[in-house]
Amino acid sequence: MSKLPITDISNLIPQKSPFVMVNSLEHFSETEVVSTFTITEDNIFVENGQLQEPGLVENMAQTVALHTGYAYFLKGEDAPTGYIGSIKKIAVKKLPSIKETITTKVSILHEIMGVTMVNVTVLNVDQEEIASGEMKTVIADNG
């Protein structure tokens, strides 16, 4: 098993630059995953010095993808492609600024037949909750 944190996540998620919204895998278990992401000035979702809501939602989704990708990596398989099935109860309390590192924590509620239901919380550097929501992701049928 690889030692955490993992900062080269390029083989764990299907997204490629400039659309990558996670920098590292900090924690992994069957029911949880934690990622970090540092906001850069050249990020496609940055406006007026802050990461906008779509960037936060994409960060949440990519953290879920990181959970799936790492689980497949541990089995010696390539990470599957997936997509957001639904988003519920997204609350953005504060937008993170350039150079700020956010921590995204995902709790897996259910995972069955390629569909994953999760609760997501995004924290700022002070461990203050800045965004949260529920999400359903679906693994694409690659067959």
Q: What is the pLDDT of residues 80-123, one digit of tens each?
A: 888 888 999 999 999 999 999 999 999 999 989 889 999 999 99
Domain ranges, residue 109: 24-139
Question: How many domains, in total, are found in the chain?
Answer: 1
Residue 14 lies in a domain: no
Residue 43 lies in a domain: yes
Measured from the Cβ of residue 139, the count of other Cβ atoms closer than 10 Å reads 19
CA dihedral 46, 52, 54, 57 (to 10 degrees): 110
Residues whose CB falls within 8 Å of the CB of residue 132, separated by 6 or more in sequence, listed in order: 89, 90, 91, 119, 120, 121, 122
Q: What is the pLDDT of residues 31-81, one digit of tens each?
A: 999 999 999 999 999 999 999 999 999 999 999 999 999 999 999 998 888
Distance CA 25, CA 112 (A): 23
User: Which CATH number belongs to the domain containing residue 43 in this structure?
Assistant: 3.10.129.10
**In terms of Cα–Cα distance, which of 68, 60, 45 is closest to 122?**
60
Give pTM, 2 decimals.
Answer: 0.93
In a domain, 6, yes or no: no
